[in-house]
């Protein structure tokens, strides 16, 4: 995939699409292959040149859209499973999990499905903060609750990395300017995590670079 992306201009987009789809978990592969694809995308293809970087961004946006559609299409199924799980726990006197924890097996499986594209797009957003807009926009779409939960779960890492690379004040203003009224819940989540970023451990240098 690397050789095709670098040496065959006509096939570069397809090669990048394939690598990003593997890295995001949509194309079936072992965990080891997914990890290698992620490193290829982030550390080799993206830094190569502007054209490669743009194609990675475009491919990642597609994967985020796939994840969003998956979340919306499975919204009612997850909602019913969560309600059934809540009734069962109440009956047996179990305490509720944290708001960001999966409330049912169905939600856990869905979170596992959408987490990888979210993490990939967030890693790219550290380098290209303008795509934080796409993260908030998709996460606030009607019925995309499980995607929003995955975004909220990983928001601390994004906020810390973005603040380290760009400065907390600068990135706060930039993201606030991008957000629409509908995206306010995820904007507030991002800003809340920026406030506490200084008290958290620094993200890995690999994520920042």
- 7 pLDDT tier (thresholds 50, 70, 90): low
Neighbours of 183 (CB within 10 A): 21
> Which residues touch 7 (CB under 8 Å, ≥6 apart)?
none
- Give the separation between CA 57 and CA 131, rounded to whole angstroms: 8
- Give the separation between CA 20 and CA 130, rounded to whole angstroms: 19
Q: Which two tokens stand for residue 180?
A: 């629409």
pTM of the model: 0.86
Determine the longest span between alpha carbons in the chain, in angstroms.
Answer: 62
pLDDT tens digit sequence for 42-94: 999 999 999 889 999 999 999 999 999 999 999 999 999 999 998 888 777 67
Which of 63, 182, 169 lies closest to 122 in space, CA to CA? 63
- Give the separation between CA 174 and CA 49, rounded to whole angstroms: 25
Per-residue pLDDT, averaged over 91-99, amounts to 72
């Amino acid at each position: 995939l690397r050789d095709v992306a670098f040496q065959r201009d006509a096939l570069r987009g397809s090669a990048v699409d394939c690598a990003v789809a593997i890295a995001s978990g949509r194309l079936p592969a072992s965990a080891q292959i997914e990890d290698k694809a992620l490193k290829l995308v982030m550390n080799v293809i993206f830094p190569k040149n502007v054209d490669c970087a743009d194609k990675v961004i475009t491919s990642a946006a597609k994967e985020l859209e796939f994840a969003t559609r998956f979340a919306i299409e499975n919204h009612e199924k997850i909602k019913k499973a969560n309600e059934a799980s809540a009734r069962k726990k109440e009956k047996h006197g179990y305490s509720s999990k944290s708001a960001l924890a999966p409330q049912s097996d169905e939600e856990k499986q869905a979170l596992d499905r959408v987490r990888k594209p979210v993490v990939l797009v967030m890693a790219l957003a550290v380098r290209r903060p303008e795509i934080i807009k796409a993260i908030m926009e998709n996460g606030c779409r009607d019925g995309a609750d499980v995607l929003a939960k995955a975004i909220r779960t990983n928001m601390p890492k994004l906020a810390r990395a973005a603040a380290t690379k760009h400065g907390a004040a600068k990135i706060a203003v930039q993201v606030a300017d991008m957000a629409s009224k509908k995206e306010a819940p995820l904007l507030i989540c991002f800003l809340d995590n920026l406030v506490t970023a200084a008290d958290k451990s620094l993200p890995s240098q690999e994520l920042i670079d």
